[in-house]
Each structure stands twice: as C-alpha cells, then as structure tokens.
C-alpha cells in the first residue's frame, strides 16, 4: 500500500484555508497514493481551544468534512484520513470527539475517536472532548487499519516516568488484527522530544510486527511549535521515511517494505531550538497579520539573538533594530549594536532616552528624591524604552519582540511595561545559558553576532557599573536551580542536597514565587522546553504556600 504522509501547517480556526491546503495536496499526490494521511484536527488546526465551544464553528467543520467527501469522488482510488472534531450525538458528556475520518469514494468508511485525552501541561482536552467509546480497526484495500490519534500512541507504561492511563489503544488495535498502524498527531516540540518520539513509535512497530505511519502537524500556533518529523516505519521498527523538521513536507512510501536500520539520526539539540524559534516567530507574526518586527538592541546577547532569529524568520528588510542609549549606557553597547545591525543588513535607528529621562526626573523631583538611582528610576528608563518601541510599532505596523530570557523571567529580573513590552517574547523559554549556545550556533557559518557582545559581562545598564550578578546568582547556577524547581518540581531540601547553597536556593525559589504576577502579564512566549511559563503553568498569584 502506498501512503502519503501529509505534514502540513494549518492555521487555527481557518477551516476554509485548511481545506484549500488539503485539496491542493490531494490533487498533487492522489494519483500515486492509495491513502493520504493528514494530522490531528487538521481541518481546524491544533489547538483550537474554546473555538470548539462555538456551535457554528462545529457546523462549519462538518460542512468541510462533506467537502472532503465530495473531493474524494474525484480520486476514486485514494482514501483520505483527516483529523477533525465531530459531535458525539450524546446527551451526556462534552458532546464532541477528537476524531479521524477515513474518507473514500465520496463516503466515510469510519470515524475513529481519540481514546486518551491529555490533561497536563499545555493540554486540556478533557475540557472539550469525550474519550472514544470503542477502539476498532477499519478494513481498507485488503488491510486492517489501526488508526489512533496522538496521545493514543503514548499509553505504554514505559513512555513516561509514571503511567497516566489504564488502557493502551495501540495494544488493543494490534489485538484486533490490525495489519497497519496509523497515528495522526499534533505533538508540540520540546528540545529532546524528537528522539523520544522516534523510539516510542519504533518500539511499537517492532513489538507488534506491524508497519507504523505517524503524521505530525508542523508550524507555530501561539506559544506552541510543532516540528513535524513525521515517520513511516517498517514492521521491525526501522525507518522507511523520516520527514524533515520545522517545514511542510509530503512523501509517499510503500509501507510493506523492510526499513533501513540506522538511518535515523536525531537533529542536534541546539539546532532544533534555533529552528523551532524561527518557525514559531515566523508563524506567530504571519498568522496574526504582521510582516515586520522591531527589536530594541541593547548591545547584549539576548537582543542580538532575538534580532538574528527575526531576520532568519522574516528577512532583513522586515526587521528594524533600535538602540536607545541612556546616561548609563556604555559606548560599547551602541557600537556593538551598530555592528550587529550592519552584519545583518537591517534598518538601524538610534533614539536617545536621556532627554526624556531627565524630563521624568524633573517631574518627580517635587514628589520624591531623585538624586540617587534606585529601582524606581531604573524601571523608568526601561519603561521609556518600552514606550518608544510601542510607538514605532504603531507607526510602522511592526510587532515588538521582547528580548528577555527564561532566567530573567523566572526571577522577575525584568520590568513590567518596560523591557517586557511587546507582542511576542521570543526567548521566554530559553535559559540564559542556552542563549549563549544559540549565539554560538548562529555564528557557526560566519561571525554575525560580534564577539564583544558574547564576551561582555551581562548588565541592564540602568545605573553606573551595574552587572546582572550584582543581583542574581551566576547564570549557570541559577539555570540549574530553575530546572530543578520549575521543571522537575524538586523541594528546597532536594535541591540543596543536589549540592547548591541553601541561601541561594531559598532566594531563587522565593523570587520565582513572588514574581508570578509579572509573568501573568507577559507577552506570549514560544515554548521549547518541557515546562515553559505560559499556558502550561497554572500557579495562583494571590496565595501563600511553601515548597
């Protein structure tokens, strides 16, 4: 059987646009395919979230399924597996399934509903869907198709550190005599997940002695990035085809072949983070109707990396870099920013905030002392810069990209309505130590980020001789504690036993906890690790608790 893996990038909610994308691909690949497989919930894009609660939205989805059925009549030798929500018709429950339709010759041979509904981290499918009532194979062209949806393939006990589900849909499909396993998916990217996913699918193909086709969505939707890397594996778990990451692709494979052992090589971790951020940035702007971006260039590594990612995603003609020196800015910060802009070939502007800052001081003088710099006056400078960037955004229709990293956001080393201003926080899930890795990766082909930017000691430059480490622990220590506390949910005692100074651990955790209110007001951030701030973190603000 010849199967085409349709690894496509849908727009959430754009049913007609997604239907058009499907139709165009079917027109190209149907003549050579017995079956074309599209990702999970492809017709509506993933995740549609509360759009699923709108009845007209569901009705339009059902109309689109009818359109796909009519389209299939033009290609009578080709079946289509399409992901879409479908009404359950039941009076009890959510009334909706996350489903896959097998469409052939103008009709629906069968629906297969998702059994395992993830309800952790960024997933909240129990909010919208009912689980499948039955798990069954579907006969098609001499095969028995074992169709499953995303999480259904992750039900094995060895898939995670703890078992989340009492059933394993893949095992049930194999027991029913499936001759071919197919999983349609919208599996978000996180660094390191690619190899885990390949191992999971490969083990299942080998365990049941069945070919396994896995089709994953690609593209950025809000904070989530989908890497694709769709797979077709032979019955021993060896690759027949592995589609590229972070781009649309389609490939036709004869599944009843022997795979090629050793041909799968996971991509380098920092390369995947780079490509994920580029894709997420490009899609966020494009799907929100923006073509241009503006970046405040401080002469530091965070803004330099953000600007480089923006140029790769949007092109140099669509990125403006803005330096906004203050009375406390070093001369190197301006020249380093100029050199970066020249290396990238972007538009570069310099707008001094000194006159505006002095005007603020005069306004404040009757109210409180302004002779010495304190946190209040540091924040004033950051907010002046934020206002300038937002004015440029309004004037030129360019989205402001905030440049803060995960380490800063974790401990609140950032200013509300200042450097946190923007429409997208590109590095919000990238720890400072990883920012340096990205800078080195960007500079591999040639020196783009000046070495002076990479080598300089991090500083906000909001008061004389300021350094980040005057306030924060060294970033290599801070990032390890953040990993243990935020990602691994370790207690204070456990982190101290791991070898960290008790006072430092206590300060970091207290600071993380009391800055939840800042993160609630931050711009959306692109998720690249297993636990990001944003939609997958639900911590109360007005609370008292001890860890």
Inter-residue contact 295 to 319 (CB < 8 Å): yes
DSSP symbols for 57-81: HHHHHHHHHHHHHHHHTT-TT-EEE
pLDDT tens digits for range 400-434? 999 999 999 999 999 999 999 999 999 999 999 99
Which residues, in sequence order, are CB contacts of 517 under 8 Å at separation 6+?
A: 541
Task: Tell me, yes or no, if 114 is annotated catalytic.
Answer: yes
163 has pLDDT over 70: no
pLDDT for 55-90, tens place per residue? 999 999 999 999 999 999 999 999 999 999 999 999
Query: What does the pLDDT read at residue 396?
Result: 96
**Given 21, 114, 432, 527, the catalytic residue:** 114
Q: Could you tell me if 231 and 201 are in contact, meaning their C-beta atoms sit under 8 angstroms apart?
A: yes
pTM listed for this prediction: 0.94
* pLDDT exceeds cutoff 60 at 234: yes
Region 197-219 average pLDDT: 96
- In this predicted model, what pLDDT tens digit does every residue of 437-489 receive, in sequence order? 999 999 999 999 999 999 988 777 777 777 777 788 999 999 999 999 999 99
How many whole angstroms separate alpha carbon 321 and alpha carbon 284?
A: 19
Band (pLDDT 50/70/90 cuts) for residue 165 is confident
Query: Do the Cβ atoms of 173 and 149 come closer than 8 Å?
Result: no
Complete domains list, the chain, with CATH: 2-258 (3.60.110.10), 274-471 (3.40.50.620)
Across 213-221, average pLDDT: 98
**What are 495's two structure tokens?**
């982190």
Burial class for 335, CB neighbours closer than 10 Å (0-12, 13-18, 19+):
middle
Output the pLDDT for position 155: 78
pLDDT the model gives residue 448: 97
The encoded tokens of residue 244 equal 């590229």
Note the pLDDT tens digit of each residue in 283-301: 999 999 999 999 999 999 9
Selecting among 40, 125, 151, 194, the annotated active-site residue is: 40
Beta-carbon contacts of 491 under 8 Å, excluding residues fewer than 6 positions away, are 547
Which pLDDT does position 164 carry in this prediction? Answer: 74
Neighbours of 151 (CB within 10 A): 25
Task: Calculate the average pLDDT of the chain.
Answer: 94
Q: Does the active-site annotation cover 193?
A: no
Mean pLDDT across 140-161:
83
| Helix, strand and coil in the chain, % to nearest 5 | 40, 20, 40
Query: What is the rounded average pLDDT of the residues 181-185?
Result: 98
- The neighbour count for residue 176, using CB atoms within 10 Å, is 12
Q: What is the pLDDT of residues 505-541, one digit of tens each?
A: 999 999 999 999 999 999 999 999 999 998 888 888 8
- Provide the pLDDT for residue 162: 57
| Average confidence (pLDDT) over 213-233 | 97
Average pLDDT of the residues in 118-138: 94
Q: Is the pLDDT of residue 230 over 70?
A: yes
Tell me whether residue 40 is one of the annotated catalytic residues. Answer: yes
Given the residues 150, 307, 308, 414, select the one marked as catalytic. Answer: 150
Q: What is the pLDDT of residues 7-21, one digit of tens each?
A: 999 999 999 999 999
pLDDT at 459: 78
């Amino acid at each position: 059987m010849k199967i085409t893996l349709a690894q496509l990038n849908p727009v959430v909610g754009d049913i007609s646009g997604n239907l058009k994308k499907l139709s165009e691909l079917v027109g190209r690949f149907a003549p050579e395919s017995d079956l074309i497989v599209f990702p999970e919930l492809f017709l509506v894009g993933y995740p549609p979230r509360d759009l699923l609660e709108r009845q007209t939205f569901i009705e339009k989805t059902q109309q689109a399924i009818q359109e796909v059925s009519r389209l299939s009549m033009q290609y009578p030798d080709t079946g289509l597996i399409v992901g879409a929500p479908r009404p359950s018709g039941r009076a009890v429950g959510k009334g909706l399934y996350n489903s896959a339709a097998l469409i052939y010759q103008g009709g629906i041979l069968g629906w297969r509903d998702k059994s395992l509904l993830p309800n952790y981290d960024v997933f909240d499918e129990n909010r919208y869907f009912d689980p499948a009532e039955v798990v069954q194979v579907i006969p098609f062209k001499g095969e028995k198709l074992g169709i499953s949806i995303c999480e259904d393939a992750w039900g094995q006990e060895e898939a995670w550190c703890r078992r989340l589900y009492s059933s394993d849909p893949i095992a049930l499909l194999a027991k029913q005599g499936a001759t071919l396993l197919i999983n349609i998916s919208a599996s978000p990217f996180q660094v390191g997940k690619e190899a885990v996913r390949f191992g999971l699918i490969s083990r299942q193909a080998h365990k049941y002695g069945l070919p396994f086709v896995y089709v994953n969505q690609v593209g950025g939707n809000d904070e989530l990035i989908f890497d694709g890397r769709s797979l077709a594996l032979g019955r021993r778990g060896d690759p027949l085809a592995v589609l590229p990451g972070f781009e649309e692709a389609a490939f036709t494979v004869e599944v009843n072949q022997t795979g090629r052992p050793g041909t799968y090589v996971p991509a380098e971790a920092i390369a995947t983070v780079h490509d994920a951020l580029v894709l997420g940035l490009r899609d966020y702007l494009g799907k929100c109707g923006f073509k241009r971006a503006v970046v405040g260039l401080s002469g530091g590594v965070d803004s330099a990396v953000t600007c480089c990612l923006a140029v790769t995603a949007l092109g140099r003609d669509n990125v403006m870099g803005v330096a906004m020196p203050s009375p406390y800015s070093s001369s190197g910060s301006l020249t380093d920013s100029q050199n970066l802009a020249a290396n990238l070939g972007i538009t570069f502007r310099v707008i001094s905030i000194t006159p505006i800052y002095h005007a603020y001081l005069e306004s404040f003088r009757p109210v409180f002392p302004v002779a010495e710099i304190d946190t209040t006056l540091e924040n004033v400078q950051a907010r002046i810069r934020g206002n300038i960037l937002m004015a440029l955004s309004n004037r030129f229709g360019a989205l402001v990209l905030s440049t803060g990293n995960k380490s800063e956001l974790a401990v609140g080393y950032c200013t509300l309505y200042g450097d946190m201003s923007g429409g997208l926080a590109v590095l919000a899930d990238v720890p400072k130590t990883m920012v340096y890795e990205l800078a080195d990766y960007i500079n591999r082909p040639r020196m783009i980020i000046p070495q002076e930017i990479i080598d300089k000691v991090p500083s906000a430059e909001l008061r004389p001789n300021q350094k980040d480490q005057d306030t924060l622990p060294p970033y290599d220590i801070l990032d390890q504690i953040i990993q243990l506390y935020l990602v691994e949910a370790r207690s204070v005692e456990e982190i101290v036993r791991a070898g960290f100074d008790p006072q430092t651990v206590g300060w970091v955790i207290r600071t993380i906890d009391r800055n939840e209110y800042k993160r609630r007001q931050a711009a959306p951030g692109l998720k690249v690790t297993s636990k990001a701030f944003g939609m997958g973190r639900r911590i109360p603000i007005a609370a008292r608790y001890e860890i």
